Protein backbone atom coordinates (compact mmCIF):
# COMPACT_ATOMS: atom_id res chain seq x y z
CA UNK A 1 0.00 0.00 0.00
CA UNK A 2 1.36 3.42 -0.91
CA UNK A 3 1.91 6.26 1.53
CA UNK A 4 -0.76 8.26 -0.32
CA UNK A 5 -3.24 5.42 0.12
CA UNK A 6 -2.42 5.20 3.83
CA UNK A 7 -3.00 8.94 4.16
CA UNK A 8 -6.37 8.61 2.45
CA UNK A 9 -7.44 5.66 4.60
CA UNK A 10 -6.62 7.59 7.77
CA UNK A 11 -8.46 10.63 6.44
CA UNK A 12 -11.56 8.55 5.63
CA UNK A 13 -11.50 6.84 9.04
CA UNK A 14 -11.44 10.22 10.78
CA UNK A 15 -14.17 11.51 8.49
CA UNK A 16 -16.44 8.57 9.32
CA UNK A 17 -15.90 9.24 13.03
CA UNK A 18 -16.60 12.96 12.65
CA UNK A 19 -19.63 12.64 10.38
CA UNK A 20 -21.26 9.93 12.47
CA UNK A 21 -20.62 11.83 15.69
CA UNK A 22 -21.51 15.35 14.57
CA UNK A 23 -24.27 14.69 12.00
CA UNK A 24 -25.90 11.55 13.35
CA UNK A 25 -24.92 11.41 17.04
CA UNK A 26 -23.76 7.81 16.55
CA UNK A 27 -20.51 6.33 17.84
CA UNK A 28 -18.60 4.11 15.44
CA UNK A 29 -15.71 1.75 16.04
CA UNK A 30 -13.69 -0.72 14.02
CA UNK A 31 -15.59 -3.83 12.99
CA UNK A 32 -13.60 -7.05 13.18
CA UNK A 33 -16.18 -9.40 11.70
CA UNK A 34 -17.30 -9.28 8.08
CA UNK A 35 -21.10 -8.95 7.94
CA UNK A 36 -23.04 -11.69 6.14
CA UNK A 37 -26.21 -9.72 5.36
CA UNK A 38 -26.98 -8.08 2.04
CA UNK A 39 -26.54 -4.33 2.11
CA UNK A 40 -26.87 -1.17 0.10
CA UNK A 41 -23.88 0.05 -1.94
CA UNK A 42 -22.87 3.30 -3.59
CA UNK A 43 -19.68 4.47 -5.28
CA UNK A 44 -17.96 7.83 -5.56
CA UNK A 45 -15.05 8.54 -7.94
CA UNK A 46 -12.33 10.72 -6.41
CA UNK A 47 -8.87 12.00 -7.19
CA UNK A 48 -6.52 12.08 -4.21
CA UNK A 49 -2.99 13.41 -4.74
CA UNK A 50 -3.29 12.73 -8.50
CA UNK A 51 -4.47 9.12 -8.00
CA UNK A 52 -7.90 8.32 -9.45
CA UNK A 53 -9.85 6.03 -7.13
CA UNK A 54 -13.34 4.72 -6.48
CA UNK A 55 -14.67 4.89 -2.92
CA UNK A 56 -17.44 2.35 -2.26
CA UNK A 57 -19.80 2.57 0.68
CA UNK A 58 -21.57 -0.62 1.79
CA UNK A 59 -24.10 -0.46 4.61
CA UNK A 60 -26.54 -2.77 6.31
CA UNK A 61 -30.16 -1.77 5.77
CA UNK A 62 -30.83 -1.29 9.50
CA UNK A 63 -28.07 1.32 9.76
CA UNK A 64 -29.50 3.24 6.80
CA UNK A 65 -32.95 3.09 8.38
CA UNK A 66 -31.50 4.53 11.59
CA UNK A 67 -29.77 7.35 9.73
CA UNK A 68 -32.88 8.00 7.62
CA UNK A 69 -34.85 8.48 10.85
CA UNK A 70 -32.23 10.96 12.09
CA UNK A 71 -32.15 12.90 8.80
CA UNK A 72 -35.83 12.73 7.87
CA UNK A 73 -37.31 12.54 11.38
CA UNK A 74 -39.60 9.70 10.30
CA UNK A 75 -39.28 5.97 9.92
CA UNK A 76 -38.71 4.61 6.46
CA UNK A 77 -37.78 1.33 4.90
CA UNK A 78 -38.46 2.33 1.32
CA UNK A 79 -35.57 1.12 -0.80
CA UNK A 80 -35.65 4.35 -2.83
CA UNK A 81 -35.33 6.52 0.29
CA UNK A 82 -32.61 4.27 1.70
CA UNK A 83 -30.70 4.58 -1.59
CA UNK A 84 -30.81 8.36 -1.14
CA UNK A 85 -29.56 8.00 2.43
CA UNK A 86 -26.65 5.81 1.29
CA UNK A 87 -25.70 8.37 -1.37
CA UNK A 88 -25.95 11.23 1.13
CA UNK A 89 -23.93 9.35 3.74
CA UNK A 90 -21.16 8.66 1.21
CA UNK A 91 -21.24 12.28 0.06
CA UNK A 92 -20.98 13.57 3.66
CA UNK A 93 -18.07 11.28 4.56
CA UNK A 94 -16.01 11.91 1.43
CA UNK A 95 -16.97 15.60 1.40
CA UNK A 96 -15.67 15.97 4.94
CA UNK A 97 -12.42 14.25 3.94
CA UNK A 98 -12.11 16.64 0.99
CA UNK A 99 -12.51 19.69 3.25
CA UNK A 100 -9.86 18.40 5.67
CA UNK A 101 -7.50 17.64 2.77
CA UNK A 102 -8.10 21.10 1.30
CA UNK A 103 -7.28 22.70 4.67
CA UNK A 104 -3.94 20.85 4.50
CA UNK A 105 -3.35 21.89 0.84
CA UNK A 106 -3.72 18.27 -0.32
CA UNK A 107 -5.17 17.75 -3.80
CA UNK A 108 -8.60 16.10 -3.51
CA UNK A 109 -11.55 16.22 -5.88
CA UNK A 110 -14.74 14.21 -5.93
CA UNK A 111 -17.52 13.51 -8.37
CA UNK A 112 -21.17 12.65 -7.73
CA UNK A 113 -22.00 9.44 -5.85
CA UNK A 114 -23.80 6.72 -7.79
CA UNK A 115 -26.05 3.94 -6.54
CA UNK A 116 -24.84 0.45 -7.48
CA UNK A 117 -27.50 -1.67 -5.80
CA UNK A 118 -28.02 -4.21 -3.06
CA UNK A 119 -25.15 -6.66 -2.64
CA UNK A 120 -23.52 -8.88 -0.10
CA UNK A 121 -20.27 -7.34 1.09
CA UNK A 122 -18.49 -10.40 -0.32
CA UNK A 123 -19.40 -9.21 -3.82
CA UNK A 124 -17.70 -5.85 -3.25
CA UNK A 125 -14.63 -6.68 -1.17
CA UNK A 126 -12.70 -8.94 -3.61
CA UNK A 127 -12.55 -6.23 -6.28
CA UNK A 128 -11.19 -3.61 -3.85
CA UNK A 129 -7.64 -2.82 -2.86
CA UNK A 130 -8.45 -1.64 0.66
CA UNK A 131 -11.50 -2.22 2.89
CA UNK A 132 -12.26 -0.44 6.16
CA UNK A 133 -15.01 -1.99 8.30
CA UNK A 134 -16.92 0.05 10.89
CA UNK A 135 -19.68 -0.79 13.32
CA UNK A 136 -22.24 1.07 15.34
CA UNK A 137 -23.88 -0.61 18.33
CA UNK A 138 -25.36 -3.37 16.20
CA UNK A 139 -24.81 -2.52 12.54
CA UNK A 140 -21.87 -2.62 10.15
CA UNK A 141 -20.73 -0.57 7.21
CA UNK A 142 -17.67 -0.57 5.00
CA UNK A 143 -15.70 1.87 2.92
CA UNK A 144 -13.48 0.43 0.26
CA UNK A 145 -10.98 1.84 -2.21
CA UNK A 146 -9.87 0.68 -5.60
CA UNK A 147 -8.05 2.22 -8.51
CA UNK A 148 -10.37 3.73 -11.05
CA UNK A 149 -10.41 1.70 -14.27
CA UNK A 150 -8.71 3.28 -17.22
CA UNK A 151 -5.53 4.13 -15.31
pTM of the model as a whole: 0.90
Q: At what angle do helices 79-103 and 61-72 cross, to 10 degrees?
A: 80
Question: Into which CATH architecture does domain 3-31+38-147 fall?
Answer: 3-Layer(aba) Sandwich (3.40)
pLDDT at residue 81 tops 60: yes
Query: Per-residue pLDDT for 124 more than 70?
Result: no
Beta strands 140-147 and 130-135: pairing type? antiparallel
Neighbour tally for 150: CB within 10 Å: 5
17-57 pLDDT, tens digit each: 999 999 999 999 888 777 777 889 999 999 999 899 999 99
pLDDT digits (tens, 9 = 90+) for 82-122: 999 999 999 999 999 999 999 999 999 999 999 988 877 77
Amino acid sequence: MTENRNDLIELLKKSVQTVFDSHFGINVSDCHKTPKANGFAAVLPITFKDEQLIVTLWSEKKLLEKIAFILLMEETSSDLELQDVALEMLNLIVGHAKVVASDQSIGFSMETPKWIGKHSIDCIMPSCDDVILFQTEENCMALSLKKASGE
